[in-house]
Structure 1
């Protein structure tokens, strides 16, 4: 029986997740709303406060934390222990849907998602290049690298830090605009009306069917520069380039992500809540080797931070402590009993008990972390105590004249009845 437990325990051992700390997932729901171009004060009054008011009466709600900043509102709700995070998310989604029509027209739709209070990034990757611009680096990371690393087993969310999202930037000349009797609203309306693409129906005949599409979407900067705004008095067209400087540039120029003092694009990889941190990190590094073969010329991609390194060191230290404890226990038993054969039973009892415990850890969906491993270290003393009591009981019977086999059987039976 002991051999069977040891075999199954060793097989299960590699399937147990390894983490630094136990996985604790409180019921937390976050509502995030984007409102580009709005100041923090406007975001707070027109979005954050409205969301706080509508979700404030949610059953089981413990606390509400909110953050309003330029262009973004984040409302974080933590629920009482025992509240299902799925039910809480559905309840919040229903409540937020009631106020969507009362939010600003230019605000994005509120995003509702479940988050873990202790969720941290498992590994940071750093993309940099001397040949590519920040826009090109961001575009490459967004279009290729995010999806590529998302295929690694156990990877959850992937974020980009320092991403320079490409946008059309129009620098208006107020004097030129006023001289041509135009306003900013006129430019906005022209962009909405002229830069369009929509289906126009079908043209059907006996031999062929054609799908019609109106395509007036602009593809490059020059198209936007030649955007007609109005007809001047002399009959000429007033174009956008006559009143503004037009160029492609980053959407947000207020943020920057640096690595070792140089601008880079950071790729932050979160693991799934039930994933093995070390396995996820190893999978990402394996993918990294493949990615490096196809990077643009002059681009470099490497690991900037790996949380699994700290976990490996911490877990290995506990393993070392575990083996030292076993060696010390066996040594102390031998010194006091002075009989090598008497040490065999406690020596075998320790690994059998510890390895068998892996079955229960796996069945209970626990992980190997600092707490569970330290519990195993403490359990060594309990296991040895029981083994010594059993050994002394058997030894006493052998000294009274019983054979070792009979003494072992009767000693074990009498001990189990204590």
Structure 2
């Protein structure tokens, strides 16, 4: 009794089982999260530290280095980079993919605590950390604008009223607020008035601190009552500081703060601005948490926004500037249509071959039952509905129907020979049960190496491989249970009827193709050596084509959104940079493809850098990256700034986050001068390479600096302490926070500095006065002089080594493999010294490792399939016959990619691996029939394989055409993820077409040669009989 027998004999139970699978699948489908791509969460922690007034070198040596040494002791770090600029250090610690982010966070906190004693005592706050996923793109950007409110108030609203509620929305991972800074009281002192009054900056700072104390003051109580004691020591607004007494003259005259300073309610950091087109704005950049349902998350944010808008002042406006939901919905909708089209095309193939509505309806039901059952398995595995999982379902259509086709075709063949339907279903299912199982199990085996592949590639395609494997296994169960039961109940013996004209035409075509194949097969069998030689040629051609085909990483998504990064020259002031940025905004906004431009300048990137978010209009004809390259070129003539742009992608691997480019190459060395020289040289070389655009470097060179050279002997004679000098300069120029103000909602700071007139030129430093030990006012020029010098704009580290990153984009039509080869050759021609380490980083580095792993991955898939087939057939030889079909599929796939000018990417690799599973199914049907004919009917090898080829010609053609037409919709998409799906369709269609033509002839010939080899190497056993079948084939007898 076969596996199918009890299901065929119990139709009610089988129907209810199928119904249960459908109900579970529909319930699971409603709960599957929706996302652009599978969840590939890189465990990453960002450590931030601030020290007002410190230059980049000071930040790198006194803050970054101690933290890096402490963090470097944590196990499981894959990459650590840092960037130090004026007053701030940012360290990005990326861990191995299998590292628990919560464990990593605890270890980072411990490392910060260990490094705390080594950090400068002048740091007003401890280093902080936050979790992030650098691979995740923003899902939403909000802007807060107003025609009347200052940006400081907009920032306070965004930071205190908007960001916290949005962070509480399920699925939100992080909300970054940029474009301004917190409200603060700014005190701008006039050194001339201070000198005239005989008051030092330090004395003013101390007076402000004393006037803004907030300490517990206790209570008083009587036997019957209690009173809390409070004071009005907190001055909250700039106007309240006007009358603050900062000094008293000898004659008793009082000097108020308003007499020596200008006060305003401003912002904590004036070098931080945001914009929405040409209007000042504060931006909220929102990213999703790991595994979040992006559609539901964005819907939750929009629902929360309705409440938030009602709580804002009427003059403030909250609007959505970027929303990924429409693009994801459109992509999901188009993928669903692609899925339905694939089902329709596959069903059409079945109908055209069987020409029977009942026979066509059975596999047509098997497809949705298998798909819906797969949803239940996806929910159990924690998968999402994303581009790759839906691609797996689309591709699986051809495989899902394959099993049903083989079963239905074999049962229909028996019914056509006047066998009763019930008996035909039992016998037909028994005959092909082993074949169907072999086809499905060996197809799943193809993905076993991919399931165990580590790193980004393995994590990225695990969901694809598992979804497809689960769909195939569910299809196997359906084809052995529901399909034969439906055949027994629905199929009827063929009755004589008038054949319509279209059916006669199809029959004539089918018979003509059968006769043509019959005659051509005899020719191939007579010229076996020539046929075998053609197979050898195909194998050699595979290696050649793989070597010459353009190679890429992951196809670019056409999201219609760009992220840009603008860098100014090292000595460009904030105001000058603002003017440059205004020109860039105007040029970008005037481009016909651009819908909106928003972004911010300053902040973590420094005063001479800006981040842009550009949204393109719907219907732009060029790809997003091509438009970005052209927009960057349109502002490339502006002196003093460089602009790079990259298409917003759902996945970005490693590397630095503020480059505005897709790919990077990093230089590392202990010699800073060597690093600076070679960073410039390699950057200039890459700018001259054809095929690269947006080449930029984070090595901005040396900026202008001024050094106060103190004559220490004179200073000592005048009673001036060096600590007082440092404090004076910090209070004057570092935007230093000297006091904290606490209100009911938050805290703000008092920022001390000299007025604008004394910040315009270095000579103003010499006009400052410091109070000596005797209380006298001593001009700085009395014990020092100024010298012009240089200082780096930023200092970058990677792996605790000084580093510099050269980043680049690709020109349209240039593959990543071609670009990396050109770069490698160009760098090698420069002959960099051994003290300099040059490596690709981020996506380019992952591409390099992926290219090295690709051949081994394909080989591992072949070996796995051979092992599974050998176990199933209890033979060393027959699996080789089946695998001989694969070289032609590889040639067809590579030729198709080259003809359509499509690089060989990771998606194309998946297509090649899929072909290993698809193409061998045809050989399995042929070999299984031939082996059965030899063992059960005593035919010789030639007769058996010829009969097998002719009898299985129809199901082979059906399954191949079903797979080809099932892949056609992958080429027809126009949504943002269409480029991701296309290489998969190209490889499947190209590989199947060529393999179908060649393997119909090469497989019988290989079967004969290997059968002859098998007989020579292994004489027949004396105890064997012609009708004896191997244990694995018992089920089909």
Task: Report the TM-score, using the length of structure 1 for normalisation.
Answer: 0.94
Tell me whether 1:179 sits opposite 2:196 in the alignment: yes
Tell me whether 1:254 sits opposite 2:245 in the alignment: no
Q: 1:320-364 deviations in whole A, cap 9, x for unaligned?
A: 211111111111111111111110111111111111111111111
1:77 aligned residue: 93
1:98 aligned residue: 114
* 1:227 counterpart (244, 248, 270): 244
1:155 aligned residue: 172
Measure how far apart 1:210 and its partner are: 2.7
Measure how far apart 1:218 and its partner are: 0.8
Measure how far apart 1:63 and its partner are: 1.8
Q: Are the structure 2 counterparts of residues 102 and 159 from structure 1 closer, same or farther at C-alpha, using a change threshold of 3 Å?
A: same
Q: Distance in 1 between matches of 2:75 and 2:328?
A: 38
Say if 1:28 and 1:77, in contact at 8 Å, map to a contact too.
Answer: yes
Tell me whether 1:15 sits opposite 2:31 in the alignment: yes
2:223 aligned residue: 206
2:394 aligned residue: 377
Q: Are the structure 2 counterparts of residues 79 and 299 from structure 1 closer, same or farther at C-alpha, using a change threshold of 3 Å?
A: closer
* 1:408 counterpart (419, 425, 436): 425
SS at 2:216 equivalent: strand
Say if 1:12 and 1:362, in contact at 8 Å, map to a contact too.
Answer: yes
Measure how far apart 1:32 and its partner are: 1.4
Q: 1:261-299 deviations in whole A, cap 9, x for unaligned?
A: 211111222222121111111222233344444542243
Tell me whether 1:34 sits opposite 2:58 in the alignment: no
SS at 2:390 equivalent: helix
Say if 1:170 and 1:247, in contact at 8 Å, map to a contact too.
Answer: yes
Q: Which has the higher contact order (CA 8 A, sep 6+)?
A: 1
Q: Are the structure 2 counterparts of residues 223 and 32 from structure 1 closer, same or farther at C-alpha, using a change threshold of 3 Å?
A: same
2:775 aligned residue: none
After the TM superposition, which segments of 4 or more aligned residues of structure 1 sit over 6 Å from their partners? none
Q: 1:85-113 deviations in whole A, cap 9, x for unaligned?
A: 33333222222211212222342211123
Tell me whether 1:66 sits opposite 2:82 in the alignment: yes
Say if 2:142 and 2:322, in contact at 8 Å, map to a contact too.
Answer: yes
1:331 aligned residue: 348
Measure how far apart 1:414 and its partner are: 4.3
SS at 1:200 equivalent: coil
Kindly indicate which of the two structures has a greater share of residues assigned to helix: 2
* 1:348 counterpart (329, 342, 365): 365
Tell me whether 1:86 sits opposite 2:102 in the alignment: yes
Task: Report the TM-score, using the length of structure 2 for normalisation.
Answer: 0.39
* 2:318 counterpart (278, 288, 301): 301
Q: Distance in 2 between matches of 1:416 and 1:106?
A: 77
Tell me whether 1:53 sits opposite 2:53 in the alignment: no
Q: Distance in 2 between matches of 1:193 and 1:145?
A: 34
Uncovered stretches (5+) of structure 2, i.e. residues with no partner:
1-16, 436-1037
Aligned residues: 418
Kindly indicate which of the two structures has a greater share of residues assigned to strand: 1
- The higher radius of gyration belongs to 2
Q: Distance in 2 between matches of 1:261 and 1:247?
A: 25
Say if 1:19 and 1:367, in contact at 8 Å, map to a contact too.
Answer: yes
Q: Distance in 1 between matches of 2:132 and 2:155?
A: 26
SS at 1:248 equivalent: strand
Q: Distance in 2 between matches of 1:328 and 1:241?
A: 82
What is the RMSD of the two structures over their aligned residues, measured on CA atoms? 2.0
Q: Are the structure 2 counterparts of residues 149 and 86 from structure 1 closer, same or farther at C-alpha, using a change threshold of 3 Å?
A: closer
Tell me whether 1:396 sits opposite 2:410 in the alignment: no
More deviation in 306-315 or 256-265? 306-315
SS at 1:20 equivalent: coil
Measure how far apart 1:400 and its partner are: 4.2
SS at 1:230 equivalent: strand
Q: Are the structure 2 counterparts of residues 59 and 150 from structure 1 closer, same or farther at C-alpha, using a change threshold of 3 Å?
A: closer
* 2:288 counterpart (268, 271, 279): 271
Alignment of 1:103-122 (within 5 A): 103-107=119-123, 108-122=125-139
Uncovered stretches (5+) of structure 1, i.e. residues with no partner:
none
2:184 aligned residue: 167
1:244 aligned residue: 261
* 1:315 counterpart (327, 332, 345): 332
Measure how far apart 1:173 and its partner are: 0.7
Say if 2:186 and 2:238, in contact at 8 Å, map to a contact too.
Answer: no
Q: Distance in 2 between matches of 1:36 and 1:91?
A: 27
Say if 1:135 and 1:249, in contact at 8 Å, map to a contact too.
Answer: yes
SS at 1:367 equivalent: coil
